[in-house]
């Protein structure tokens, strides 16, 4: 049985539907992420799980028991707020001790467990400080320690790294992964950063306009987006208009605008004649100089000219224009030292990609 | 920033106008003369007279009692309405609570008088004064408490519930300690407002009770003796002390409200 089950949950504000029929299950021990653009209903969903808000329709179940009517203080679920929400008049140690005091844990145990929790987030020497004397990253750690100390069944984290700078963010991501692994508590993590979601999660639910577009493991989400929204939201991707020529058990043969015949991984649900988009990641597209002769059936390739390139350091992205004006991006790692690029603007090039990569999106 | 000499002069004149009379009152309370006219010499005579003036002492005791009781009730009610105004975003509530603060005192006094005498058919006295004072003090306390809450991160109250505290525990352990400075400042304000209120007390006291301001007024109708200076000095000291303590607790709130 899933630890948390969300069944057809709907939440409306006046005439606006913030959460529109979400169903998903979170397994015990999982690092589960809700990913989506601003305003897609992530916080609203999280608040219903925590008990600050109630669904208009549908049901939330924890361990198979309905959460309906159970106030936040009686749910074994704790939240790490984006604003940290530390109690400003209590010291770091008192903040962390708060959930234990509420649970009527014996004072000696409280002291020991607060020490342990603060040690786990490397803040033992700050325990007598007040929250306003801490840096953003330190406040973040206190909020984490406070959320974890009483070992909730579920820890909800609403964009907990949102307020940190890039470097600290990366550090905290590492710590979060380790912390979750060590304590074994189920995390439901909210973010609108796809990179963060991919790096941290066991599974990700991509949300858009109040509903889940796709729920998958990071690598599957990245490689096999189910629709245009997911493909576009997660990472960079080339999208080209396409029509299905043949759909077999082994492969999908497409007619892609500006490229011609393209072989793509099979999709059972797709039938010949369907129109949609062919999507392929820049790093899956290889770039070679000159006009290479066609390699035969099942090898996708197209000629074009380099239009522009962007040197990022570890890689260079080339923007290639095809004969019909369509533009495609290809990525090349800069493995040779001191070389920023392998091609100049206007160079004729050939783009190739395997028939095992890319997806056809009909929606 | 450089300030012009003119600005300095104006400011100085205004403060002189405000404070010189007060200083004169205080000085002449120590003057060894019946008249507030010329300085004769230092004495504590007028304070001795004050201590033997039964009526004045009774009025003083009344004032302290009224101020204490009405500050207590106004603080209770004002704190609750301050929290309610913050929590429930009702439009009418702030209007209802704060209007008495902005209303001319004379209007409040007259309408309370009419209300007590004609509507309730009430004998004016200590009780009616208390009700009146509580009424006009509640708004001040509510404003200070609300101002304190307004500056706070809303999610800390949710965090408290989230971490296992009941609504009552959340109030006791989180909300109350955080608004306490505002509550204390509000209570001190209510006390000072009550103790030196004249207009509203005048209309609602009837013949039954005398408060210090009423007593002083009836004395100076006859003649201004330095005893008035003495009692004024004491009242002023008390008020000043309260304001200083109040501003310690909620400097921001007080700046906004007073
Ligand atoms: N109490 C409310 N009353 C009215 N509308 C609300 C309320 N709470 C949320 N909404 C609306 O619901 C939508 C979803 O809000 P929500 O806070 O869940 O978004 P989010 O996915 O968390 O976005 P972000 O990434 O910006 O935090 C928004 O359009 C918001 O305006
Ligand atoms: Mg949000």
Pick the CATH number of B50-255 from 2.60.40.10, 3.40.640.10, 1.10.3720.10, 1.20.140.10: 1.10.3720.10
Percent over 70 (pLDDT), chain B: 95
Ligand 1 atom closest to residue A37's alpha carbon, by position in its atom list? 25
Q: Does A76 touch chain B (CB under 8 A)?
A: no
pLDDT value, residue B253: 45
Residue of A34, A40, A210 best suited for mutating to test ligand 1, as the one with most atoms within 8 Å of CB: A40
CB pair distance less than 8 Å for B178 and A89: yes
Second CATH level (architecture) for the domain A4-229? 3-Layer(aba) Sandwich (3.40)
CB pair distance less than 8 Å for B165 and A98: yes
A86 contacts in B (CB within 8 Å)? 156, 159
Contact B49, B240 (CB under 8 A): no
pLDDT category, A28, cuts 50, 70, 90?
A: very high
Counting runs of H as helices and runs of E as strands, what totals does chain A give? Answer: 8, 20
Q: In what order do the strands lie in the sheet with A327-333?
A: A286-289, A348-353, A300-311, A315-322, A327-333
Q: Which residue of B has its CA nearest to A94?
A: B173
Contact A98, A146 (CB under 8 A): yes
CB pair distance less than 8 Å for B161 and A98: no
A83 contacts in B (CB within 8 Å)? 153, 155
Residues across chain B:
258
pLDDT value, residue A97: 96
The three-state secondary structure class of A85 is coil
Contact A9, A199 (CB under 8 A): no
> From the candidates B87, B164, B180, which should be mutated to test the interface with A, based on the most A CB atoms within 10 A?
B164
pLDDT value, residue B250: 58
| Interfacial B residues in 128-157 facing A (CB < 8 Å) | 153, 155-156
pLDDT tens per residue across span B45-93: 888 888 888 888 888 888 999 999 999 999 999 999 999 888 887 778 7
pLDDT tens per residue across span A114-149: 999 998 888 899 989 999 999 888 998 999 999 999
Q: Strand runs (DSSP E) across chain A, as ranges?
A: 4-13, 16-26, 31-35, 57-62, 65-66, 77-80, 154-158, 186-191, 203-208, 211-216, 238-247, 251-256, 260-265, 275-280, 286-289, 300-311, 315-322, 327-333, 348-353, 359-361
CB pair distance less than 8 Å for A88 and B156: yes
CB pair distance less than 8 Å for B165 and A150: no
DSSP state for residue B173 in the 8-state scheme: I
Mean pLDDT over all residues of chain B?
85
A253 has which bridge partners?
Answer: A246, A263
Closest residue by Cα to atom 17, ligand 1, is A43
Spans of all domains in chain B: 50-255
- Could you write out the three-class secondary structure of B31-72? ECCCCCCCCCCECCHHHHHHHCCHHHHHHHHHHHHHHHHHHH
| DSSP-assigned letters across all residues of A212-270 | EEEEE-HHHHHHS-SSHHHHHHSS--EEEEEEEEEE-SSEEEEEETTTEEEEEE--TT-
pLDDT value, residue A223: 86
Prediction pTM value:
0.81
pLDDT value, residue B51: 84
Q: Is A39 in the pocket of ligand 1 (CB under 6 A)?
A: yes
pLDDT tens per residue across span B183-237: 988 998 899 889 888 898 988 887 778 888 888 888 888 777 888 888 888 888 8
pLDDT value, residue B258: 34
Note the ligand closest to the C-alpha atom of A38: 1
The three-state secondary structure class of A25 is strand
- Do β-strands A57-62 and A4-13 pair in parallel, antiparallel, or remain unpaired? antiparallel
pLDDT tens per residue across span A337-350: 666 667 888 889 99
Contact A305, A348 (CB under 8 A): yes
Segment B125-139 shows an average pLDDT of 89
Considering only CA atoms, which of A140, A148, A158 is closest in space to residue A33? Answer: A158
Q: Which has more pLDDT, B125 or A142?
A: A142
B165 contacts in A (CB within 8 Å)? 73, 98, 102
Q: Which residue of B has its CA nearest to A73?
A: B164
pLDDT category, B254, cuts 50, 70, 90?
A: very low
The three-state secondary structure class of A87 is coil
Q: Which of A80-84, B114-118, B161-165: highest mean pLDDT?
A: B161-165
Q: Which sign, positive or negative, has the C-alpha torsion A349, A353, A355, A361? A: negative
Burial class of residue A283 in the structure, from the number of CB atoms within 10 Å of its CB (0-12 exposed, 13-18 middle, 19+ buried): middle
pLDDT tens per residue across span B159-182: 999 999 999 999 999 999 999 988
Q: Which residue of A has its CA nearest to B164?
A: A73
CB pair distance less than 8 Å for B159 and A71: no
The alpha carbon of residue A67 is apart from the nearest alpha carbon of chain B, in Å, by 14
Q: Is A18 in the pocket of ligand 1 (CB under 6 A)?
A: yes
Spans of all domains in chain A: 4-229, 236-361
**Structure ipTM:** 0.81
The alpha carbon of residue B157 is apart from the nearest alpha carbon of chain A, in Å, by 8
Q: What is the Å distance from ligand 2's center to B144 Cα?
A: 31
Contact B174, A68 (CB under 8 A): no
> From the candidates A50, A85, A110, A158, which should be mutated to test the interface with B, based on the most B CB atoms within 10 A?
A85
Pick the CATH number of A236-361 from 3.40.50.2300, 2.40.50.100, 3.40.50.10490, 1.10.10.60: 2.40.50.100
pLDDT value, residue A96: 96
Give the separation between CA A221 and CA A57, rounded to whole angstroms. 28
A88 contacts in B (CB within 8 Å)? 156, 178
Angle at A198 between CA A250 and CA A8, to 5 degrees: 80
């Amino acid at each position: 049985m899933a630890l948390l089950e969300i069944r057809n949950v709907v939440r409306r504000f006046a005439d606006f539907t913030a959460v529109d029929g979400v169903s998903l299950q979170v397994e015990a021990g999982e690092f589960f992420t809700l990913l989506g653009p601003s305003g897609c209903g992530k916080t609203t969903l999280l608040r219903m799980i925590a008990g600050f808000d109630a669904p208009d329709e549908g049901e939330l179940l924890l361990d198979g028991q309905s959460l309906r009517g159970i106030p936040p203080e009686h749910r074994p679920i704790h939240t790490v707020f984006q604003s940290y929400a530390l109690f400003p008049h209590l010291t770091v140690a008192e903040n962390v001790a708060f959930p234990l005091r509420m649970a009527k844990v014996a004072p000696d145990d409280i002291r020991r467990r607060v020490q342990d929790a603060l040690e786990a987030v490397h803040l033992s020497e700050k325990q007598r400080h007040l929250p306003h004397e801490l840096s953003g990253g330190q406040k973040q750690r206190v909020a984490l320690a406070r959320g974890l100390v009483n070992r909730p069944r579920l820890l909800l984290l609403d964009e907990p790294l949102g307020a940190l700078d890039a470097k600290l963010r990366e550090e905290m991501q590492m710590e979060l992964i380790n912390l979750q692994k060590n304590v074994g508590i189920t995390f439901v993590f909210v973010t609108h950063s796809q990179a963060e979601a991919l790096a941290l999660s066991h599974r990700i639910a991509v949300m858009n306009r109040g509903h889940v577009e796709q729920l998958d493991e990071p690598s599957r989400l990245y490689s096999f987006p189910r629709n245009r929204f997911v493909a576009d939201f997660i990472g960079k991707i080339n999208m080209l208009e396409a029509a299905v020529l043949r759909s077999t058990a082994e492969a999908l043969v497409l007619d892609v605008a500006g490229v011609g015949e393209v072989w793509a991984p099979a999709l059972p649900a797709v039938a010949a004649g369907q129109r949609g988009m062919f999507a392929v990641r820049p790093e899956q597209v290889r770039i070679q100089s000159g006009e290479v002769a066609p390699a035969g059936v099942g090898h996708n390739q197209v000629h074009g000219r380099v239009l522009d390139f962007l040197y990022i350091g570890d890689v260079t992205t080339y923007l290639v224009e095809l004969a019909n004006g369509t533009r495609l991006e290809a990525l090349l790692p800069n493995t040779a030292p001191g070389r920023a690029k392998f091609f100049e603007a206007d160079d004729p090039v050939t783009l190739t990609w395997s028939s095992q990569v890319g997806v056809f999106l009909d929606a | 920033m450089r300030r012009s000499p003119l600005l300095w002069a104006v400011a100085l004149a205004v403060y002189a106008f405000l404070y010189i009379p007060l200083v004169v009152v205080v000085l002449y309370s120590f003057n060894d003369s019946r008249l507030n006219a010329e300085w004769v010499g230092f004495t504590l005579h007028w304070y001795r007279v004050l201590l033997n003036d039964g009526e004045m002492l009774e009025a003083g005791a009344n004032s302290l009692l009224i101020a204490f009781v009405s500050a207590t009730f106004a603080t209770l009610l004002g704190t609750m309405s301050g929290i309610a105004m913050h929590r429930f975003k009702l439009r009418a509530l702030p209007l209802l609570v704060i209007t008495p603060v902005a209303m001319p005192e004379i209007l409040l006094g007259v309408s309370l008088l009419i209300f007590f005498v004609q509507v309730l058919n009430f004998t004016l006295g200590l009780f009616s004064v208390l009700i009146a004072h509580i009424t006009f003090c509640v708004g001040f306390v509510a404003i200070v408490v609300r101002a304190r809450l307004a500056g706070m991160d809303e999610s800390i109250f949710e965090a408290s519930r989230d971490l296992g505290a009941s609504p009552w525990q959340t109030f006791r352990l989180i909300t109350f300690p955080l608004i306490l400075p505002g509550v204390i400042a509000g209570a001190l304000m209510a006390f000072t407002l009550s103790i030196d209120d004249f207009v509203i007390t005048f209309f609602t006291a009837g013949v039954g009770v005398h408060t210090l301001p009423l007593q002083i007024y009836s004395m100076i109708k006859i003649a201004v003796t330095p005893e008035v200076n003495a009692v004024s000095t004491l009242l002023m000291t008390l008020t000043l002390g309260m304001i200083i303590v109040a501003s310690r607790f909620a400097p921001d709130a007080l700046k906004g409200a007073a």
